[in-house]
Amino acid sequence: MDPDHLPQETEKFISSSKINWSRTKDEVWMELEKKIEVKSKVEVKSVVRTIGQVWIRVAVAAVFVLLAGIPALITLYTKTIVVPAGTHSEVYLPDKSLVKLNAQSTLKYKPLAWRFSRTMKFEGEAYFEIEKGKELGIRSARGKTVVLGTTFNIYSRSDEYQVTCFSGRVKVQENAGTQEVILNPGQKTALDTDGILTVESGIDTEQTLSWLNNRFSFTSVPLRNVFEEIGRQYGVLIEIQSDIENTYTGTFMKDSSVENVLVLVCRPFDLSFSRKADNGYIISGNK
């Protein structure tokens, strides 16, 4: 049979069948098409509704994650300022308090949480001008300083911890919390080798802050510490090969070259220095 005549033969077969059609073929096809169209629309609406519900759930979940993450961000985000050897720097805190940082100093604080808690960690040397407000705490390796609105200087290096008050009042504690002193202007406290806070009054505040003007003044300071400070301010490594137990009293300006300063400090103790290839210096005794 010719395939082209199959549709015609099929139609003749259906027409000659004894099925009692209550409607015409066209009416049946029209009704079937309507049902298919309605079902398609329902399925499309169902899919759209399902997608919409999924996106709503995703959006709600994202909002919850965001809201849960904000407190963590506020609590964990820490800003760190590191001042390398040979430089000084100034930092304004979120409340406009000013911190002037000496060479080789590090300051850490949480800017997003500042309005709730004015706290920071600090090592090195810095001069602080703190705006009035909530209590401010500065924790270092060996002690903690607590202030409101005041100006003061902190020196925290190795085993040394000193705080000098210039205005207002400053509370200083050693880290174990068993000792506490209150400083008034012109007073200084230091943590001695036995872990005891001692207070000194009538200090020379100008000498304490001389580093702000690039002038470095020492009174009976161990000579090794003086060489360490020279290395810190000029960004050079100074190696000491001699046994040095002397103390030094004197002043040098940073606008002098490092070699001129070394001559100034070494001469009274019959010491000499030589330059290394890596821009460092070796301090040795004269034979």
Query: Residue 38's pLDDT is what?
Result: 57
* Element holding 125 (H helix, E strand): strand 118-130
Q: What is the pTM of this model?
A: 0.73
CA distance 5 to 19: 23
Nearest alpha carbon to residue 107 among 132, 130, 85, 90: 90
Could you tell me the end-to-end alpha-carbon distance of the chain, in angstroms, rounded to an integer?
Answer: 126
Q: Which residues, including other chains, have CB under 8 Å from residue 49's CB and lie 6 or more apart?
A: none
Residue pair 215/250 in contact (Cβ under 8 Å)? The answer is no
CA distance 18 to 250: 127
Residue pair 283/227 in contact (Cβ under 8 Å)? The answer is yes
Architecture of domain 79-207: Sandwich (2.60)
CA distance 95 to 81: 17
For the domain spanning 214-285, the CATH number is: 3.55.50.30
CA distance 236 to 228: 9
CA distance 89 to 27: 90
Residue pair 282/272 in contact (Cβ under 8 Å)? The answer is no
Query: Residue 43's pLDDT is what?
Result: 55
Q: What is the pLDDT of residues 194-249, one digit of tens each?
A: 889 999 999 888 889 999 999 999 999 999 999 999 999 999 999 998 788 899 99
Ranges in the chain, pLDDT < 50: 1-7, 9-11, 13-21, 65
Query: Residue 277's pLDDT is what?
Result: 80
Q: For the chain, which residues make up each domain, given as ranges?
A: 79-207, 214-285
Residue pair 175/142 in contact (Cβ under 8 Å)? The answer is yes
Q: Collapsing DSSP states into helix, strand and coil, what is residue 259?
A: helix
